[in-house]
Homo-oligomer: A and B are copies of this chain.
Amino acid sequence: MENIKVGLLGFGTIGTGVAKTLLQQQSLLQAKTGVTLELAKIADIDISTQRDVNIDASVLTTDAHEILNDPKIQIVVELIGGYEPARSFILQALRNGKHVVTANKALLAVHAKEIFETAIQHHVDVGFEASVGGGIPIIRAIREGLVANNFTEIYGILNGTTNYILTEMTEKGEPFDQVLRQAQELGLAEADPGFDIEGIDAAHKTAILTYLAFGQHIALEQIFIRGISNLQTMDIKFAAELGYKIKLLALIKQNNHAVEARVHPTMLPVDHLLAKVDGSFNAVYVVGDIVDSTMFYGRGAGMMPTASAVVGDIVDIARNIVKGISNKIPLLPAPQEASRYTVQAPDRFRSGYYLRFTVIDRYGVFSKISGILAEHKISIASVIQKEVHPVNSVPVIMLTYEAPEHAMQQAVEEIDRLDLITDKTVLIRVL
């Protein structure tokens, strides 16, 4: 049986999972591809720490170039993460005629075009299923299964760490900082959790999905991004009383060929399927003009689920190698496709809102707030006054009808300047 040699760059959690999968599933993968996928080399700066997989010392190296320059290695798997040296390594591998599989969403969010152009130029493929939604084959669904559709909406839970934190905050009523610490102890949040909790990781994935669905390279500055670090348990509780659950959603919408992209905590009706997606699971709705709504659910992160996606890509490339082809699925959008869409400014979207004002409980406050909202053409759907504060100020909760984000931001800014308002107004977008 023919061998196809695979080289791994990065022997961290995902790298270990990929090595385990290639070894453990060897006969399955032979049956599926007709070739042997040989784990030929693994490069990492740390090759002394024992991983949870038995790898011959001769396979390990600290020098990535032993993989990048080995003419016998046909598939390079980049699992280093971050921008450099990952980008340079990938480009070098492609230029050396090697196919690349990567899980690197931060890199693809910014450099997809350069990487894909280089791959096409050198007649090799890039597999990146693991970059969005972990083990969920969402990228394949958008590029292949649902290819007959113009997409109207893609939205869902794309970050497992924040979904775990929100689930714990909701179920246990514990504050953000405490739950984050627990998540870090459990290995479910990184020591430096900024990318996850501030919505950057979900925004990277949003950029990749936007590129795939609409051929639009979207800069992070074009995505409206809010994280979960300021979320208070009080609002999670009030949301529950109103029949909502709060999830960090990524939302991409296309309306008359204008594309909006955003990531923010979102109130979902409790009976929405996404409201049932808890813990570190991810789920993405993909809505197309032909297929209507579809939804894809699975583990969005973790050693083995991510390895499932990476090895799925390795198999796809191996099957291409067997057939002697590359670039069967176009990596770049056709020019006529990309030119159909424009990207909307990040605060131009419309949403319903949950507002929590902290007010001094006295006559007149409601008329002032509703006056400012009316000036900005924002209609109030309901008002709930809560009597929970021990001190002089009370929370007043409002749900509004759909309004433009920029109008809402201006209105809240004006409201927060009122003397009657004793704390910054909390604003959560409602699906």
Contact = CB atoms under 8 A, between A and B. Distances in A.
Contact of A298 (B28, B294, B320, B330): B294
Nearest to A315: B147
A320 B311 contact: no
- The bracket for how many chain A residues form the interface is 35 or more
A148 B290 contact: no
A144 B292 contact: no
A147 B311 CA distance: 8
Nearest to A314: B148
Contacts of A296: 294-297
Given A140-B140, A304-B290, A28 B297 contact: no
A99 B137 CA distance: 25
A172 interface: no
A148 B307 contact: yes
A31 interface: yes
Interface string A306-319: 01110110011001
A146 B312 contact: yes
24 contacts: A27-B336, A28-B148, A28-B337, A29-B148, A31-B337, A34-B334, A135-B294, A137-B141, A137-B294, A141-B141, A144-B316, A147-B312, A148-B311, A273-B273, A291-B304, A291-B305, A291-B309, A293-B297, A293-B298, A294-B296, A295-B296, A296-B296, A296-B297, A325-B328
Interface of A: 21, 25, 27-32, 34, 129, 135-137, 140-141, 144-150, 271, 273, 276-277, 283, 288, 290-299, 302, 304-305, 307-309, 311-312, 315-316, 319-320, 323-325, 328-330, 333-334, 336-337
